Amino acid sequence: MQKFRVLTLCFLLLLTGCSIIRLDDNNLEVIVNTIISHENRLSNVHFDGHQFYLPRNFRLINRDRSNIFLLDRHNNRYFMYVDAISFYHNVEKEFTENPAAYFSKGFESNGRFGYLEINQVENKYFIEAMFHYTKIEVFVNRENIIDAVSGIFTILNSVEFNQIILESLIGDNRLDYTEEVFDIFETRRRGDSVENFLRYIEEFDRFDDINNQLPDEDSIRID
């Protein structure tokens, strides 16, 4: 993670000249804009229809359809959802910022859009980030917010869809998620939605000993 902090700081120096910007919660907007302003075409995780780059300080725990479960070096569990259907149909929705949140901001760069919202839930911080039709959620301690947001947007900014494969999958009804109620364009601002998220993560705790180590190869292919 220290390596990524150095890279992020280098990006900030390039954009701001000689001014040094502290990597703290007050600069979340700058950090996110810095990451998404640079096109990232690296990928080391490949699914049918999409691929993305997973930083070395993350592990892929499990995948269930479009639901992907990640773990970072602080043992924080991340829920990642790729909405290939919305991408295929070019769905767009405007994000409404929440003034009551710890942080809430919409973002747009290189023709892609999304948002970052952080809310305090008791002594934890619930991070919801969406960019390029992919959403990641996680609960972290305050001291882990910068690491988490930097890693999340590195992943989100690297997501690429394969239009040809998606056309085939959708045509064969292999991506028919009509029963899916998860909306990546909306945040979980209601308490019951956050509780549902926690129960969903707990349900997948049983996968701790299954596929919880990334292979040594530089590229992971998962069908």
User: For 20-66, how does the pLDDT look when each residue is reduced to its tens digit (9 = 90+)?
Assistant: 445 566 799 999 999 999 988 899 999 888 999 999 999 999 887 77
**Strand, helix or coil for residue 55:** coil
Amino acid at 134: T
pLDDT at position 147, please? 95
pLDDT at position 178, please? 47
Q: Locate tokens 């992919």: which residue?
A: 134
Task: Provide the CA 13 distance to its chain's centre, in angstroms.
Answer: 24
Q: What angle do CA 214, 137, 61 make, to 5 degrees?
A: 20
Per-residue pLDDT tens over the stretch 146-199: 999 999 999 999 999 998 888 888 765 655 554 445 688 888 765 555 666 666
Describe the chain by its helix, strand, coil percentages, rounded to 5: 35, 25, 40
Q: What is the pTM of this model?
A: 0.78
**Strand, helix or coil for residue 144:** helix
Q: What is the mean pLDDT of residues 12-26?
A: 49
Q: Is residue 165 within 8 Å of 48, Cβ to Cβ? A: yes
Nearest of 167, 157, 171 to residue 8 by alpha carbon: 157
Task: Provide the CA 73 distance to its chain's centre, in angstroms.
Answer: 16
Q: What is the mean pLDDT of residues 78-106?
A: 92
Cα 143 from Cα 76, distance rounded (Å):
12
Nearest of 171, 168, 177, 160 to residue 50 by alpha carbon: 160
Token output for 101: 């949140």
Token output for 152: 């999340």
Task: Give the start-to-end residue ranges of the domains of the chain.
Answer: 2-212
pLDDT band at residue 18, thresholds of 50, 70 and 90? Answer: very low
- The chain-wide mean pLDDT, for the chain, equals 78
**Strand, helix or coil for residue 169:** helix
Cα 87 from Cα 33, distance rounded (Å):
22
Q: How far apart are the first and last CA of the chain?
A: 29
Q: Is residue 157 within 8 Å of 108, Cβ to Cβ? A: no
Cα 129 from Cα 218, distance rounded (Å):
26
Token output for 133: 């039709």
Q: Locate tokens 């997948």: which residue?
A: 204
